[in-house]
Amino acid sequence: MTMSRAQAAAAQRALEAGYGLALEGLAGDQVLSAVAAAWTGEDDPADPRFLERVVDRLPIDESWLFREDDLWRWLDETAAPEILEAASVAARPARILSIGCSAGQEPFTAAMLFQRVLERSGIGPSAASAFVQIVGVDSSPVRIEVARTGLLSSWSVQRCRPEWLAGRVTPEHDLLGRYRVTDSVRAMCRFEV
């Protein structure tokens, strides 16, 4: 049984309402393709289990490490030291939230950046998780599971300046085209749906 246009439109409305997604940035055929790929023929377009399958098929993974270079430079030079100082005064770790974290690129970037800032103060990467805690959230359970592995595609790694990585990302020799963030970076990050 194929999905009707009315059912597809209902699924899109349910996605936008239930997940808070702004799907206008995707072409209609991209949304329709994701809805159709998740459709079993018996689904209710508003069923959360069906919508979860659709979200996992949406092409919304446009992310890489240190995306928006100017932002990360500003954070490195100005905001991150101030955030760490405020957390120190409050006698607690700095807490960072990344919404729509996809496969973890932004939280991992934040962890690497804060490690750089902490190293300038003489605090090594292995101690960084005591000073900064990062939570990444995404509506896709599949993407969150990928983020938890600490594995990234070569596309996510090779688009940034290598000096920002500073040995915190290494090729995964058993998986061609995959990279792994270091344990110290992963220790700073937690991921939730």
C-alpha to C-alpha distance for 187 and 171, rounded to whole angstroms: 19
- Tell me the backbone φ, ψ of residue 42, rounded to 5 degrees: -120, 0
- Would you tell me how many other CB atoms lie within 10 Å of the CB of residue 98? 21
The sign of the CA dihedral 52, 55, 61, 65 is negative
| Distance (Å) of CA 173 to CA 21, 156, 176, 179 | 36, 17, 7, 8
Is the model's pLDDT at 28 over the cut of 70? no
Rounded to the nearest 10 degrees, what angle do helices 5-19 and 28-38 cross at? 100
C-alpha to C-alpha distance for 114 and 129, rounded to whole angstroms: 10
Which are the contacts of 9, defined by CB distance < 8 A and separation ≥ 6?
none
**Mean pLDDT throughout 141-159?**
90
Closest CA to 143 of 68, 59, 66: 59
C-alpha to C-alpha distance for 162 and 127, rounded to whole angstroms: 23
SS3 content of the chain, % helix, strand, coil (to 5): 55, 15, 35
Q: Which pLDDT belongs to residue 153?
A: 87
Is the model's pLDDT at 9 over the cut of 90? no
- Edge-to-edge strands, sheet with 94-99: 94-99, 132-137, 189-192
Residue 28 corresponds to which tokens in the numbers above?
A: 């209609």
Q: What is the pLDDT of residues 54-77, one digit of tens each?
A: 877 776 656 789 988 899 999 999
Q: Would the pTM of this model clear 0.85, i.e. be above it?
A: no
Closest CA to 146 of 23, 56, 54: 56
Is the model's pLDDT at 131 over the cut of 90? yes
